[in-house]
Amino acid sequence: MAEDVLRLLAEREQTLAVAESLTGGMVAAELTGVPGASRSFLGSVTAYATELKHRILGVDAGLLAAEGAVNAQVAAEMAAGVRTLTGASWGIATTGVAGPEPQDGRPVGTVFVAVAGPTGRKTVRLRLNGSRTEIRRESARTVLELLSSELRENLRGQDTEQNGGI
């Protein structure tokens, strides 16, 4: 999936930055494992501590205090924040509970992944089962899949525009 995302970004001459919490750098590792990733991948922020989500990524402190870090809006703000911080075309983010204990009143396996790009933001809630490792891996895979889908959708919209709405 990382190879596909990087190919799509390179074709469009666009860039990507990643904000990770529960995945702890797994998404960035997947991306940098692809030869030539530096053409499109700018970097990442692993904001594991809630305070860093606010201080570095600009997530609203009131939202974090009221809802905790495992929240759809937090994921969206993380993706938008890393995009702003790095100047990337696209930002993606992961936040959630990998276990073994619940967090912020959310059960293990509750995950939010988000994409922020030129056409707006999209957030998806996941309810995952499995071990801590499986939850983290599936979260990383899903956020890349979400970005791939958004990139393809963005391309279809551009093709329609260029072809006079046909």
- Give the DSSP letter string of 84-132: HHHT-SEEEEEEE--SSS-BTTB-TTEEEEEEEETTEEEEEEEE--S-H
Whether 39 is in a domain gets the answer yes
Domain assignment present for 83: yes
pLDDT at res. 59: 98
pLDDT tens by residue, 41-96: 999 999 999 999 999 999 999 999 999 999 999 999 999 999 999 999 999 999 99
Does any domain span residue 95? yes
Q: Quote the number of domains for the chain.
A: 1
Q: Look at residue 166 and tell me if it is in a domain.
A: no
- In this structure, is residue 132 part of a structural domain? yes
Q: Is residue 65 part of a domain?
A: yes
For residues 95-122, average pLDDT: 96
CB atoms within 10 A of CB 11: 11
> If residue 2 lies in a helix (H) or strand (E), which one and from where to where?
helix 2-12
Q: What is the pLDDT of residue 158?
A: 58
47: its two tokens: 């904001």
- Predicted confidence at residue 130, as pLDDT, reads 97
CA 41/CA 69 separation, integer angstroms: 25
Full domain range(s) for residue 51: 2-161
CATH no. for residue 153?
3.90.950.20
